[in-house]
Structure 1
């Protein structure tokens, strides 16, 4: 089997990092954890599992996921988030790959969970993500929020990654708070200007997209939950962007 390096980025993931590394070990002869200066036992657990840990203050989604790549001893990279696990069908599929075409990257269907409940509605499944790629031709885009792998060719494996996105509905709301703050920061870094209309317009657009275009209106409680949380996230990230610009304006006032 062609050697593969697993790469995971972390921040205070002591509850999850162990199982994530365990799911990579059947395929990877090396696992690198890029840790954003965790304050819990993430680093100790990762090292106990046999991973190499690199400490790096958070650079943004794409740059952080790319940080570990030059340190890998293999060209083939299998990237997971700390809350992701390879399903058995994905492990079996990768084991049978020849990996003889460095221009080909591989995508997987992500099964998103809220607690023990698999949420399939309003575009939450199959949620295709590229996770296996060759660093000589492909890599994460330098976007500071919601980055993805850019590759010359992508093959859909049809196999699965389990994504333990949210522990509960309360955790879902907490994550929206955290991610909307990160997204607002990333937008400000890109030079996105404030707007009083943008939060509302993006929330309405998100609701329409999830309920109508993605069919959430016909998918029961899950459909409405995905639509409402997506709209809330959209609203808050633009509202927080406005807040960041307001804070800058006040700090510049003599």
Structure 2
């Protein structure tokens, strides 16, 4: 039977972290929390559990998660963010996997909670994520703030039954602030790799992002919140490219 390490990065997650830890304690053999010097009660909550708590200045989403992987004692990893938790069904799937590990990694569907509503469409479900994997065969990649685990050398992955439960934004104000914040990170990341912002991307890409989320991915079935999510999906795309264009003007 393999041993699993639960790996989490956190910053000011007092609202969510206990759910996350409770969903892991009976599944993994150790829990590693890498915290970016939270100023709320995150640390105190974590220390109520048998975790290895490491404080590390934030390196960037991708870099922080790769750093956290190096702190685990086991090669087989369950990776969660502080605002996520394993559903009971997924907990059981992973427990069964410990005695029957066959592939190099496993995807899980992520179910997002927005303003108290579980979102079943709007480009937010099934929101498949590779979060159970052998760290020797994988690493975090992507363009900040959009990180993803990538298996090396075309390794094989399966999918587990059950959901990662993700508590996203609990108010429209919070969502709006995060849209602005993440669009700035994305614009800087695009600038750093030399990606351009032609005028047609500022016009077309936001429209397409909204259209895909609301119509093609059936966001309208999620009611008012489906419209809000789809609108913000278009907005973050617009902000990303306008901020990228501004960076080129300033530099």
Relative to the length of structure 1, the TM-score reads 0.88
What is the SS of the residue equivalent to 2:146? coil
Partner residue of 1:198? 201
Partner residue of 1:14? 14
* 108 and 226 in structure 1: CA distance in 2 versus 1, 3 angstrom threshold: same
Q: How does 1:31-180 map to 2 (within 5 A)?
A: 31-97=31-97, 98-101=99-102, 103-141=103-141, 143-151=143-151, 152-180=155-183
CA distance in 2, matches of 1:199, 1:59: 29
Q: Identify unmatched segments of 5+ residues in structure 1.
A: 250-254
Contact 1:202 1:235 in 2 (8 A): yes
Contact 1:115 1:167 in 2 (8 A): yes
Q: Deviation of residue 91 (structure 1)?
A: 0.5
Over aligned residue pairs, what C-alpha RMSD do you find?
A: 2.0
Contact 1:133 1:139 in 2 (8 A): no
Deviations for 1:183-211, whole angstroms, at most 9, x for unmatched residues? 12222222223444432222112022223
Q: Identify unmatched segments of 5+ residues in structure 2.
A: none
Q: Deviation of residue 142 (structure 1)?
A: 5.4
* 25 and 219 in structure 1: CA distance in 2 versus 1, 3 angstrom threshold: closer
* 245 and 12 in structure 1: CA distance in 2 versus 1, 3 angstrom threshold: farther
Deviations for 1:9-61, whole angstroms, at most 9, x for unmatched residues? 11222222222122111112211112223233323332332322222222222
Partner residue of 1:252? none
Q: Deviation of residue 219 (structure 1)?
A: 5.4
Relative to the length of structure 2, the TM-score reads 0.89
Partner residue of 2:238? 235
Paired residues in the alignment total 247
Deviations for 1:93-118, whole angstroms, at most 9, x for unmatched residues? 111112533x4211111111113211
Contact 1:204 1:231 in 2 (8 A): yes
Range with bigger deviation, 175-184 or 192-201? 192-201
